[in-house]
Amino acid sequence: MAITYTSGEQVEVYRFSIPATILIPLTAVFLQAWLPLRFPFFTIFDLPLLVTIGFATARRNPLAGLFTGGLIGILQDALTHQPIGLYGISKTVVGFGASSLGIKLDVENSGARFLLTLLFYGVHEIIYFLIARGLVSLHLEWSWTHEIWSGVANAILGVVLYALLDRVKQRT
């Protein structure tokens, strides 16, 4: 069992099997595209983001986190009509940040996971907003109310989703 030592604490590092590594992000992207047709409110959730954070915090490897986030984001971008890279860049940063923070913090309990998801949801939205406005000239509107409620909703769903991911992750 590989253990990393940070600030005197033992932090376990996990990995996912190859089928899980491929199928879970694909399923998340698929559900993100399919569920809003049946449940329009589902657009406030960002399942690929939650999977990115879940993978990054479990693996605790910044490089793996940024590449996973980048690929998931690009896949998500490819389904939209916007230029490819908006979600890619945002999720690359989130993947890197979540895995870096996962090394330093204990993210095994629900409270920490809730706050971590809330934080990175905000980071993701800010980066997306800045790139969309600054680089692509999209006229997005920033609404604090909407973002806070969406962040809380995603954090709650994230806690549930991470519990499910715990079942498929393997200790290295």
Q: Is 141 in the site for another protein (CB under 8 A)?
A: yes
Rounded Cα–Cα distance for residues 30 and 129 (Å): 23
SS3 state of residue 5:
strand
* Nearest to another protein of 110, 132 (CB atom): 132
At 72, list the tokens.
């998931």
Report strand pairing: 14-15 vs 9-12.
unpaired
Sequence letter at residue 19 = P
Interaction between residue 148 and another protein (CB under 8 A): no
Q: Which residue, 142 or 170, has its beta carbon nearer to another protein?
A: 142
Question: What is the C-alpha to C-alpha distance for residues 166 and 141, in angstroms, rounded to an integer?
Answer: 36
Q: How far is the CB of 144 from another protein (least distance, A)?
A: 14
DSSP reduced 3-state for 6:
strand
Give how many residues touch another protein by CB under 8 A: 46
Q: Which stretch binds another protein (CB under 8 A): 7-15, 51-59, 111-119, 135-143?
A: 135-143
- By CB under 8 A, the residues from 28 to 67 that bind another protein are 29-30, 32-34, 36-37, 40, 43-44, 62-63, 66-67
Residues 69-108 within binding reach of another protein (CB under 8 A): 70, 74-76, 78-89, 92-93, 96, 100
Regarding 151 and contact with another protein (CB under 8 A), the answer is no
DSSP-derived letter for residue 9 is E
Q: Does 135 bind another protein (CB under 8 A)?
A: yes
Which residue type, as a one-letter code, is found at position 152? Answer: V
| Residue 84: its H or E element | none
Would you say 141 or 167 has its CB closer to another protein?
Answer: 141
**Whether 17 contacts 168, CB under 8 Å:** yes
Read off the DSSP letter of residue 83.
P
User: Which residues contribute to the site for another protein (CB under 8 A)?
Assistant: 26, 29-30, 32-34, 36-37, 40, 43-44, 62-63, 66-67, 70, 74-76, 78-89, 92-93, 96, 100, 128, 131-132, 135-141, 143
